[in-house]
Chain A
């Protein structure tokens, strides 16, 4: 074994990569960008969960000191704590308040809240969950539980002989859901996002790599020498790639619904329309970006740049509303944000095609798709010149 021969080979490799500025850049820049992004997001305060409170508790009259209301105490506790941002509501407002997306839950203290407790040592609390975001729902219950627990500990002091000893379960939560329900779990919440992610990225990957091949093998040159017009070429490529994109989204959807048995509320046809628009955008994004890569390796280097920020910033894991403003700006420039939002609206909330929360997202996706179509066609045009 010769040291100099071995080193000669190693040296060639180093030299080769030093020439490939882009690979080097990505090698160092991408992890730093991704890590800082993650560090930012993970440290992100979960933020206060917005809840509504309907306090109808009439309290009980205690001696000369006046009226005691346990609910008042609890509401004060919730307002002063870090977990909730509290909006006081009338009972009839609760439903529309939740549907407008202003909060994750409404907590209702009934008229006889304190009275019941005094008599039975147990009382009911109504909770209406918005339900489209299981983690937020879980956070509401967890934090509410902590506040109630604290109250139970303080009770002997408050009691002054006025209430029974609390039972094993002093507060009973009566939970109802606007969207979804108890059976909705985290998978149901992530399923729409995952469908969007697969549709976007696998199709993008498929297109970008096979398009590089089209370019390097001279297939495009051959097409250009035939009587095919440019729109025919662009449309032909789009259709060809979209067949598989289409089939893929169909398979993902059917598998999620029938094999994984995810819960969904909306119309699957709308889901399919959304997925279709995503894939058309992805195909053309692939055609466009493939123009900036000389070979398959360089194309693969696009993936972390295109995929990771979208997965992190598009509201799949972290709600966009909790992000700092500049990240929110970026989030609203990413197609996955709209895809994710549209699919969640449809699948979790059962919204229809014409409702604004769905229609606006679809419109945004259509806009992305058309921009990518134009860009893709433009790079094909450059190819021809």
Chain B
């Protein structure tokens, strides 16, 4: 069942075109990802779905309701984990959750019950009376997720939820997300971490400069655009041009990414027949989403 349906959504900030007319749909219960570098428009499209920023053109419907016309009832069904931590620094951990619950008209007793429960789930029970400034980055992020879940949202929006986290905290967020998904929550994720996207998403779109470049299951996207394996060549700088010429004459197309040349799919297999390329230190490895992005844009994801 389609939960989120969008048609040619455009968002402009003044002259800046942040989202350039994109369409996609999200099924109930899936984890849908936006993968792209900073400035691709990921956060903007999330904001449009959260009804916190007006749409310039186009249409977004969530659960059959239009975000422009019924923002309040949509907001009540969404949990948001923002990219930047915005907890109340002057309140304690527990107070942060209680105050936020009241914004959703959750009755006091129930708010307390849910807050304590989610503190337990996120291993923050010991910290419940501590002030926010004493928490580590990972704890703050966990608290943000805990807060987003207070209204038992149908949709959880995670905007770069693990940026700047250590691996342990990252895995806790991932683990929770998958757990929520199995319990029926639809998850919208924006990230520039292809590992995260591959790990969590059932389906994702690759975004670049406000547009969608590709859409599909992570593994399927990899297979479709770059094949299973990839060969990296690292020629010395003075030999790079010569190598590019040589590859061209062999009708292989290499992606030039500065000090490294990438050979996708078949081409990667074919160079095995050319031992003279050994001097350029070829390395073969499994292809990933980063390669897809590189292939589609000629640039890396994390810049």
Contacts and interface: CB of A to CB of B under 8 A. Distances in A.
B84 interface: yes
Given A226-B100, A229-B72, A218 B84 contact: yes
Nearest to B89: A217
Nearest to B50: A225
Q: When A and B form their complex, which 5 residue pairs have the shortest distance between CB atoms, in order from nearest?
A: A218-B86, A226-B103, A227-B75, A225-B80, A224-B52
B52 A221 contact: yes
B72 A385 contact: no
Interface string B45-60: 0000011111000000
Interface of B: 50-54, 72-73, 75-76, 78, 80, 82, 84-86, 88-89, 100, 103-105
20 contacts: A217-B89, A218-B82, A218-B84, A219-B88, A221-B52, A221-B86, A222-B80, A223-B103, A225-B51, A225-B78, A225-B80, A226-B100, A226-B103, A226-B104, A227-B75, A227-B76, A227-B103, A227-B104, A229-B72, A384-B53
Given A217-B86, A222-B82, A225-B80, A385 B54 contact: yes
A385 B53 contact: yes
Nearest to B147: A222
Which residue of B52, B72, B82, B105 has the most chain A CB atoms within 10 A of its CB atom? B52
A178 interface: no
A228 interface: yes
A141 B54 CA distance: 68
Nearest to A223: B103
A241 to B, nearest CB: 14
Nearest to A219: B86
B104 A384 contact: no
B248 to A, nearest CB: 48
Interface in A210-262: 217-219, 221-229
Which residue of B85, B100, B103 has the most chain A CB atoms within 10 A of its CB atom? B103
Which residue of A221, A223, A226, A385 has the most chain B CB atoms within 10 A of its CB atom? A226
A155 B78 CA distance: 95
A226 B86 contact: no
Given A218-B82, A218-B86, A225 B76 contact: no
A385 B100 CA distance: 22
Which residue of A217, A222, A229, A384 has the most chain B CB atoms within 10 A of its CB atom? A222
Contacts of B89: 217
A223 B50 CA distance: 12
Contacts of B78: 225
A226 B103 CA distance: 7
A219 B89 CA distance: 10
Interface in A358-385: 384-385
Chain B binding surface, main DSSP class: loop
B54 A225 contact: no
B53 A225 contact: no
Chain A interface extent, by class: 10 to 19
A226 B88 CA distance: 15
A345 to B, nearest CB: 41
Contact of A227 (B54, B72, B84, B85): B72
B84 A225 contact: no
Contacts of A217: 86, 88-89
A138 to B, nearest CB: 50
B88 A225 contact: no
A224 B53 CA distance: 9
Contacts of A221: 52, 82, 86
A217 B87 CA distance: 8
Contacts of A223: 103
Nearest to A236: B103
Given A223-B103, A227-B103, A228-B103, 17 more contacts: A217-B88, A218-B84, A218-B85, A221-B52, A221-B82, A222-B80, A222-B100, A225-B50, A225-B51, A225-B52, A225-B78, A226-B75, A226-B100, A226-B104, A227-B105, A229-B72, A384-B52
B54 A222 contact: no
Contacts of B104: 226-227
Nearest to B73: A227
B76 to A, nearest CB: 5
Contacts of A218: 82, 84-86
Nearest to B157: A225
Contacts of A219: 86, 88
Contacts of B103: 223, 226-228
A346 to B, nearest CB: 38
A217 B100 CA distance: 15
Interface in A186-222: 217-219, 221-222
A222 B86 contact: yes
Interface in A10-50: none
A363 to B, nearest CB: 36
Nearest to B144: A222
Contacts of B52: 221, 224-225, 384
Nearest to A385: B54
Contacts of A385: 53-54
B66 to A, nearest CB: 16
Contacts of B105: 227
Which residue of B54, B75, B78, B89 has the most chain A CB atoms within 10 A of its CB atom? B75
B161 to A, nearest CB: 15
A217 B89 CA distance: 9
Contacts of B75: 225-227
Contacts of B86: 217-219, 221-222
A218 B87 CA distance: 8
A384 B84 CA distance: 16
Contacts of A229: 72
A222 B73 CA distance: 16
A226 B100 CA distance: 9
B83 to A, nearest CB: 9
A218 B50 CA distance: 15
Nearest to B88: A219
Nearest to A383: B52
B54 to A, nearest CB: 6
A129 B90 CA distance: 55
A224 B47 CA distance: 10
